[in-house]
């Protein structure tokens, strides 16, 4: 039985090769559909992974009490704004607790040409992790040094065309078209970060004292009339912050995160809340789940179109092959052999298309991934097909086999006399 099947498989291969011109178009269509379907699936899963891993190793985000998604949006993605700040005294006390390993204070509110300005400390550059355990690194220049230094994210620097040593002025506020600039206290671009594929790329980073320095002569969101403190004079003032927007916290033992979260939520000196970033990010990604499924559905429909082309091509060729099939019948082939022969031919075409699509996808990812990482901070990497991708490949092959069964059944029903009486 196996020998007979092997013989039919070789015969199917030779028959397909004789019609390689026509079937090559079908193989190309299936390869393109496979590459599109798997490419969208790979891009979808890796973008989700990138989104969820925008920040790693942070056990809790602490801020003023409010919505957990809102806290995540402005603390990690720098979108929107906090309704209230948390006191610096509370931030310092939290950082001194025994279970806390490190903290990263964050203060928001200012911007530069549409990009958010984040005031923080050196702990941000030391402890911030993304995509597992990747650290921030410089592409050019140096880290924060003097009071009016600024380190820029890769995307912000590239879009604005900035390089180290460039003088810039920050703007008060982060929304609107007519923002007041802190022109009397210019900053110097000290360094530019390497692309990360996270919100870090779209932000500017200064020290917490610098945020206080540019607001020394401001009250209630506006300059104090008649008072101007120069950049040289501002160093004489106390530049310790009175409040911050949020704080990222890393614990000595992650098993204590729930007890620590409860302690933060029950903080007595002011109403605070702590959220676990992984939990909130999963909820946020679930909100866009419908869109990603629609994209996957479109690519699946494209794949089905390619498989329909396979069935159409084999059916169209049956009319020309009726004499060939009749000769096979007269040589002793059984009707079941004709069915298996035609089904094997369709299966070979589908497998060839799938393999070509996989190869094309790997070549494309290898060629494009360095460009995406360097220019846009989007990390798409080569990897063996994941469980979901193997399932998609299996569905493509199964659908191709089903599509090839229709012309196989038609060939099965062809009579010997019908084939022999076709006029030449």
The secondary structure element, H or E, covering residue 134 is strand 134-135
188 pLDDT band, cuts 50/70/90, is: very high
Share of the chain above pLDDT 90, in %: 33
Least confident piece of the model among 49-58, 88-97, 223-232, 301-310: 301-310
Least confident piece of the model among 3-12, 189-198, 297-306: 3-12
pTM: 0.69
| Interval 87-100: pLDDT, tens | 999 999 999 999 99
* Domain assignments of the chain as residue spans, ordered by start: 2-52+289-420, 60-275
Is-contact 59 254, C-beta < 8 A?
yes
Would the pLDDT of 318 be above 60? no
Question: What is the per-residue pLDDT for 417?
Answer: 47
| Interval 241-251: pLDDT, tens | 999 999 999 99
Number of helices followed by number of strands (H, E) in the chain: 13, 17
Per DSSP, what are the bridge partners of residue 187? Answer: 168
Residue 424 to residue 73: CA distance in whole angstroms: 74
Provide mean pLDDT across the span 230-234: 84
Would the pLDDT of 64 be above 60? yes
Question: What is the per-residue pLDDT for 392?
Answer: 76
415 pLDDT band, cuts 50/70/90, is: very low
Q: Six-digit token pair at 339?
A: 């069915």
The pairs formed by 239-242 with CB atoms below 8 angstroms and a separation of 24 or more are 239/147, 239/208, 239/209, 239/212, 239/213, 240/88, 240/209, 240/212, 241/88, 241/105, 241/107, 241/119, 241/208, 241/209, 241/211, 241/212, 242/87, 242/88
Is-contact 42 379, C-beta < 8 A?
no
Q: How many CA atoms lie within 13 A of 380 on its CB side?
A: 23
| Interval 37-58: pLDDT, tens | 788 777 777 777 767 777 888 9
Higher pLDDT, 73 or 13: 73
Residue 357 to residue 361: CA distance in whole angstroms: 6
- Work out the end-to-end distance of the chain between its first and last CA atoms, rounded to an integer number of angstroms: 35
Residue 74 to residue 69: CA distance in whole angstroms: 9
């Amino acid at each position: 039985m196996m020998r007979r099947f092997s013989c039919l498989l070789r015969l199917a291969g030779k028959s397909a090769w004789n019609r390689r011109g026509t079937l090559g178009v079908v193989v190309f269509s299936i390869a393109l559909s496979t590459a599109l379907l798997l490419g969208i699936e790979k891009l979808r899963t890796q973008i989700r992974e990138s989104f969820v891993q925008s920040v790693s190793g942070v056990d809790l985000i602490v801020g003023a009490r409010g919505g957990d998604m809102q806290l995540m949006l402005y603390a990690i993605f720098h979108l929107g704004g906090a309704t209230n700040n948390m006191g610096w005294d509370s931030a310092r006390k939290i950082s001194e607790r025994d279970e806390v390993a490190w903290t990263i204070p964050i203060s928001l509110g200012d911007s530069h040409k549409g990009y958010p300005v984040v005031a923080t400390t050196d702990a941000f550059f030391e402890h911030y992790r993304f995509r597992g355990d990747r650290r921030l690194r410089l592409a050019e220049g140096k880290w924060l040094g003097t009071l009016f230094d600024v380190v820029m994210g890769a995307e912000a620097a590239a879009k604005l065309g900035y390089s180290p040593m460039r003088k810039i002025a920050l703007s008060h506020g982060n929304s609107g078209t007519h923002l007041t600039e802190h022109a009397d206290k210019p900053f110097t671009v000290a360094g530019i970060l390497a692309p990360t594929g996270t919100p870090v790329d779209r932000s500017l980073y200064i020290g917490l004292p610098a945020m206080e320095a540019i607001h020394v002569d401001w009250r209630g969101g506006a300059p104090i009339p008649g008072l101007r403190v120069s950049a040289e004079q501002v160093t004489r003032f106390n530049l310790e912050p009175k409040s911050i927007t949020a704080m990222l916290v890393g614990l000595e033992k992650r098993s204590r995160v729930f007890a620590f979260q409860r302690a933060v939520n029950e903080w007595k000196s002011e109403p605070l809340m702590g959220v676990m970033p992984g939990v909130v990010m999963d909820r946020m990604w679930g909100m866009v789940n419908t869109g990603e499924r629609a994209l996957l559905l479109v690519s699946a429909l494209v794949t089905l179109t390619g498989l329909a082309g396979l069935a159409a091509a084999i059916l169209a060729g049956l009319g020309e092959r009726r004499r060939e099939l009749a000769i096979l019948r007269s040589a002793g082939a059984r009707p079941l052999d004709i069915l298996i022969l035609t089904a094997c031919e369709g299966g070979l075409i589908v497998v060839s298309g799938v393999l070509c699509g996989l190869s094309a996808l790997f070549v494309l990812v290898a060629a494009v991934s360095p460009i995406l990482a360097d220019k846009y901070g989007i990390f798409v990497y080569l990897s063996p097909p994941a469980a979901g991708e193997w399932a998609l490949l299996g569905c493509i092959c199964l659908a191709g086999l089903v599509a090839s069964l229709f012309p196989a059944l038609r060939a099965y029903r062809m009579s010997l006399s019908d084939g022999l009486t076709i006029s030449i």
